Amino acid sequence: MATMHLPKFEHICPSSIEEAAQLLGRHGADARLTAGGTDLFPRMKQGLTRPEVVISLKGLAIDTPRVSRNGDLHINALMPLADIARSSEVLEKVPMLAEAIVCVGSNQIRHMGTLGGNICLENRCTYYNQSHSFQFVEPCFKRSGDCCYLIPKGKKCVAVFAADTAPALICLDAKVEIIAADGSRQLPVEKLYTGDAIQPLALSQDEIISEVIIANPQAVRGTAFTKFSLRGGVEFAGLTVAVCLEMANGAGTCAAARITAGAVSAGPVRAVKAEKAIAGETLSDKLFQKIAEMAAGEIRPVMHHGYSVPFLRECLKVQTYRTLVMAAKRTGHNREN
Amino acid sequence: MKRLIELSINGETCELAVEPNATLSEVIRDQVGLTGTKVACGTGECGTCTVLIDGRPILSCLTLAVDCQQQAILTVEGLSEGETLTPVQQAFHDCGAIQCGFCTPGMVLSTTALLKANPRPSTTEIQKALEGHLCRCTGYNKILEAVQQAAAAVVPKARQKT
């Protein structure tokens, strides 16, 4: 294949994130934001998106992660992933985020890509992300057409959301600060995902994520993140599982839990029934096996990137179990066998 | 429309007229004429186009040249002084970590960045730092050896200085 070039566009460097939001509002669907460019530029080279205007956030100043007076951790959304994974505040307060970041792409991609960019990663599918020039004539749902090449009789797009940091942030109950052309708002990361593969993010045209805020943990907790992929490097997730176990005072009892799976559908999914079943229970191997089965029962993965549904279900069960065991070890309580 | 920009490449300032959609790899190769930076996939998977920007390994095929002003860009040509190779280049040479040489400029630059941040990396740390580089010749073992040899060569020198 000939070397791919970027199509022509107008390049604008705003001097603040507020100005960027106004530019987005003015240019509407013709504009795209870029910070690291690791997701946008490959898609532009493949002809999957053709913005007339590219708004670059590269020149904007980036604060280092800071802990506010109430103990919440604030991370600038423009911060490169590699810097976040090395930040002492992050490693101390939310090691699971660093654990998830290390799984993203390659070393170079982590140095370029930002946390905000990873949260807003475009959904992917085996067919959509191929070069289309030699494969298809009819566009699929995701390319504004009316067919699906993955599920030939399918009625909707099933492209998966595969960002690694999102399930971890959802388990950590993180929020995002969103700057719009006419103001700002906060939204839990969980609410950022619509579950619709065509419009995966609940952001309007002029909105930009400026900051990720992770609440100060109120109790002792154990967290873990695991990613399954075939080759183990420079690969989008086949499946990710993030677990956060919050412990009751003193005893080895779990007060509350969060279990989130990624790369299973158009957005990250929480295993709500399994989470409820673990609350109030004493951590044990038997419990983890039960919880893993429940999680695999309630989350319905879609077929993607060559992984079948039965395979992903089994994988979800095994991986949830392993992640629970890892998280439990990190609570500092020995579990019963 | 072309824009006039200034890029600092290997310590030299280059005044260039570039299109906004020109990637850094295109500008470095086609306009500046430094063809040591290779381009294979163009989509950020192979790592051959890696250059260092302010010491960070980045993919020049996914970076706009217009976004790189006021930053120190280092390509493989900026490493050696005349015919004197850097310890990393020497180690790649000594260990036979090169066959066709296409992935080597990127590998050498990523290794240089790794050893600067972490002079004694473990095998896992080396693998993690180089996971974004594909090599279709060597099978990676000799590259790992080369990085370990370069680390061993760099550390005693640093100690001598202190």
The CATH number of residue B136's host domain is 1.10.150.120
- Of B78, B100, B127, the one marking the end of a domain is B78
Same domain, B60 and B99: no
Provide the sign of the torsion angle of the four alpha carbons A73, A76, A82, A83, taken in this order.
negative
How does pLDDT run across A144-189, given as a tens digit for each residue? 889 998 888 999 999 999 999 999 999 999 999 999 999 999 999 9
Interface contacts A/B by beta carbons within 8 Å: 88
**Percentage helix, strand, coil for chain B under 3-state DSSP, each rounded to 5:** 40, 20, 40
Closest by CA to A121, choosing from A237, A256, A29, A227, is A237
B131/A107 Cβ within 8 A: yes
Looking up residue A15, the CATH number of its domain turns out to be 3.30.43.10
Q: Which residues of A touch B57 (CB under 8 A)?
A: 107-108, 111
Looking up residue B48, the CATH number of its domain turns out to be 3.10.20.30
Looking up residue A235, the CATH number of its domain turns out to be 3.30.390.50
Same domain, B47 and B9: yes
* ipTM of predicted complex: 0.95
How does pLDDT run across A80-138, given as a tens digit for each residue? 999 999 999 999 999 999 999 999 999 999 999 999 999 999 999 988 887 666 566 68
Q: Which residues of A touch B131 (CB under 8 A)?
A: 106-107, 233-234
Hunting for tokens 């086609």 — which residue is that? B30
Please check whether residue A174 lies inside any domain of the structure. Answer: no
B64/A108 Cβ within 8 A: no
- Of A39, A60, A81, the one marking the end of a domain is A60
Interface test with B, best of A108, A231, A236 (most B CBs within 10 A): A108
pTM of the model: 0.95
How does pLDDT run across A232-288, given as a tens digit for each residue? 889 999 999 999 999 987 678 999 999 999 999 999 999 999 999 999 999 999 999
Query: A310-316: long-range contacts at Cβ-Cβ below 8 A with a sequence spacing of 24 or more?
Result: A312/A238, A312/A239, A312/A264, A315/A228, A315/A238, A315/A239, A316/A239, A316/A241, A316/A261, A316/A264
Same domain, B95 and B39: no
Same domain, B106 and B149: yes
Q: How many domains does chain B have?
A: 2
- Of B28, B52, B78, the one marking the end of a domain is B78
Measured in whole angstroms, how far is the alpha carbon of residue A200 from the centre of its chain?
11
Range of the domain at A322: 221-330
Please check whether residue A294 lies inside any domain of the structure. Answer: yes
Q: How many domains does chain A have?
A: 2
Residue A290: Cβ within 10 Å count: 16
Same domain, B92 and B74: no
Please check whether residue A73 lies inside any domain of the structure. Answer: no
- Of B34, B61, B78, the one marking the end of a domain is B78
B26 touches chain A (CB under 8 A): yes
B56/A38 Cβ within 8 A: no
- Of A60, A76, A91, the one marking the end of a domain is A60
Range of the domain at B47: 3-78
